[in-house]
């Protein structure tokens, strides 16, 4: 009787241990945000399409890829981007350009009946995350004028300090780095728009 009771208790303990071992931490999802602020520059009435955006294969995945050492990264399976990075970057830059150019006619995807005056393409060379330290963005971008096909290109390198240890702070720092790139792109669009006037 006692042996049977001990066997039952051991079975219950074993099942509880297996169940505890199978449970996983819940995934957390993050997005990039538009953080640019108006700088008082007159509005540039232009229609702008943002995309495509190319991302290095090493970070083009749902999980955060965190730099641990010079030649070592860690893929954090429980902290993820809510959408593909290329989409998130295009949306954040489009939102920044709305503010910086003072025009609502900026799209991050192909839209019916939307013919842009300018198309922005972005080739991200580096999208580095160091938890608790910094987010680094290095990208080559082009602004192509639809009529005439003139192209302006540039390179943005932005390193933003992370204000905290969490992944939300890391996502916020990446958003600020994107806002700096958006400022460079907006300046190129303004310069091109001024040429025709």
User: pLDDT tens digits, residue range 59-80?
Assistant: 999 999 999 988 999 999 999 9
**DSSP letter string over 4-39?**
HHHHHHHHHHHHHHHHHHH--PPPEEE---------
For 63-145, strand residue ranges (E) read 63-69, 72-81, 106-107, 118-130, 134-145
Say how far apart CA 136 and CA 194 lie, in whole Å: 31
pLDDT given for residue 110 in this prediction? 76
* Per-residue tokens: 98: 């709305």
Tell me what the mean pLDDT of segment 19-35 comes to: 79
Question: What does pTM read for this prediction?
Answer: 0.86
What would the pLDDT profile of 149-170 be if each residue is shown by its tens digit?
A: 889 999 999 999 999 999 999 9
**Does the pLDDT value for residue 122 go beyond 90?**
yes
**Does the pLDDT value for residue 15 go beyond 90?**
no
């Amino acid at each position: 009787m006692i042996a049977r009771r001990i066997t039952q208790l051991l079975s219950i303990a074993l099942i509880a241990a297996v169940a505890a071992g199978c449970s996983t931490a819940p995934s957390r999802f993050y997005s990039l945000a538009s953080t640019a602020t108006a700088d008082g520059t007159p509005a540039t009435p232009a229609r702008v399409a943002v995309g495509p955006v190319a991302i290095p294969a090493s970070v083009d995945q749902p999980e955060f890829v965190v730099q641990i050492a010079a030649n070592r990264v860690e893929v954090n399976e429980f902290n993820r981007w809510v959408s593909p990075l290329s989409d998130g970057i295009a949306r954040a830059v489009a939102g920044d350009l709305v503010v910086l150019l003072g025009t609502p006619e900026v799209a991050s995807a192909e839209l019916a009946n939307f013919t842009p005056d300018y198309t922005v393409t972005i080739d991200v060379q580096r999208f580095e995350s160091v938890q608790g330290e910094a987010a680094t963005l290095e990208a080559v971008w082009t602004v192509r004028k639809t009529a005439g096909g003139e192209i302006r290109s540039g390179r943005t390198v932005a390193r933003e300090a992370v204000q905290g240890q969490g992944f939300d702070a890391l996502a916020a720092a990446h958003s600020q780095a994107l806002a700096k790139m958006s400022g460079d792109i907006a300046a190129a669009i303004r310069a091109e728009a001024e040429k025709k006037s």
